[in-house]
Amino acid sequence: IYEETEGKGRYKKLTYVEIDKYSRQIIMPEIGMKGQGTLKNSSVLVVGAGGLGCPSALYLTGAGVGRIGIVDYDKVKLNNLHRQLLHSETSTGQPKVFSAAESLKRLNSFVDVTPYEIQIDSSNALDIIKQYDVVIDATDNVATRYLLNDACILASRPLVSGSALQLEGQLTVYNYNNGPCYRCLFPVPPPPETVTNCGDGGVLGAVPGVIGVLQALETMKILLGHHGVLTKSMLLFDGSDCSFRKVRVRDRNKSCAVCGSEPSITALIDYEQFCGSKANDKPASIHLLDDMDRISARNYQAIRSEPHLLIDVRSPLEFEICHLPESLNLPLKDLASGEVVQHLKAVITEKCPGGNDFPVFVVCRRGNDSQRGVMALRESLSGLHVSVRDIIGGLHSWAEDVDPSFPVY
């Protein structure tokens, strides 16, 4: 059902079924028929169909926002399901955007859901964002945060930004009601090595659930023109004691590179280059060692029965999750410890009394810390005749190339 509105084109009116469907919020004075009609004729872009994007999109769909776009390049994995509740075991391996769209359409057939199976970047962000009223940042990397911020400034769209890690979460709204943008608060990106995502640091599923639902709430307040939108302040959530704290953030920076009075950024840039990190949540591989100082998981399997020492440099907590039975757990941070070095020397001497280039292999989760471990061990074991190499790709490669039944995380 449409109604012509002067200067605004076609306005979709609520059907009787929709009135019944949304009646519990329509009877609120803050919503009413006018507010519900506004939601029906509004649009939201959710960037990320993961731990934050799933609850955001779910509650926006349930509330009757008329058009929702979902952007994600990834596929559903089993380790997503404890927090990404639009997906299920049967959708493992499917593109997240199609899995999410299917779930949302089952929830509310009145909502138009558009999936974008792409990685959003400088070449497509503006064209997509201009089609929506509000953008939700439900991503997990710094480069995309800067991209979405700058694109929303250039397109004059509010940005509802959330993050969650372990037991903590944050929420704020950028570029709304003369409030600051992300660059106003963080003009320079953090060093890549200081950034942790949920794939490395972990997250309790309910935490992004809390933040994602609040992102949906702030988005609806913006669409409805309500007061109290979380701009010029940031909400901090600590799940360990269920505490919420709202802190004021600095005002809009007049010299900001993108939203200031004389901006130097007037078009989208290369954000991976700007941040020195990838615009996705995939783990980056480092290359510290020469090829001769490394061994593949398959080749390690071939010499596994020969005398050697395998050192697992992960934390004891990770070692408890899974490990190769012959491995010795010596966390990376402890390799320089005098006590650990003495213990290691004693183990090597016992295994190889002759001490002629005794093979020592180092393993970790993905093959990054193992390289750091090789470098540390070469220094601490310099007085011994040992050959120290790492296993390329770590335990992930072991599971992929040698033992598919080996648990990965």
- Long-range contact pairs involving 113-117 (C-beta distance under 8 Å, separation at least 24): 113/61, 113/67, 113/68, 113/69, 113/70, 114/67, 114/68, 114/69, 114/70, 115/69, 115/70, 116/69, 116/70, 116/71, 116/72, 117/72, 117/73
Please count the CA atoms within 13 angstroms of the CA of 201 that sit on its side-chain side.
15
Ranges of H-type helices in 186-239: 198-201, 206-224
Q: Using an 8 Å Cβ cutoff, are 172 and 236 in contact? A: no
Which one of 54, 152, 184, 198 is the catalytic residue? 198
Does residue 184 have an active-site annotation? no
Type and span of the H or E element at 248: strand 243-248
Give DSSP secondary structure letters for 120-150. --TTTHHHHHTT-SEEEE----HHHHHHHHH
Tell me the two tokens of residue 389: 């190499």
Type and span of the H or E element at 39: helix 32-40
Ranges of H-type helices in 337-393: 338-351, 369-380
Q: In this structure, which amino acid lies at residue 126?
A: L
Does residue 352 have an active-site annotation? no
Which of 167, 157, 149, 169 has the alpha carbon at shortest distance from 213? 169
Which one of 54, 256, 352, 364 is the catalytic residue? 364
Q: Using an 8 Å Cβ cutoff, are 132 and 116 in contact? A: no
Give me Rg for the CA atoms of the chain.
26
Q: Which residues are catalytic?
A: 198, 364
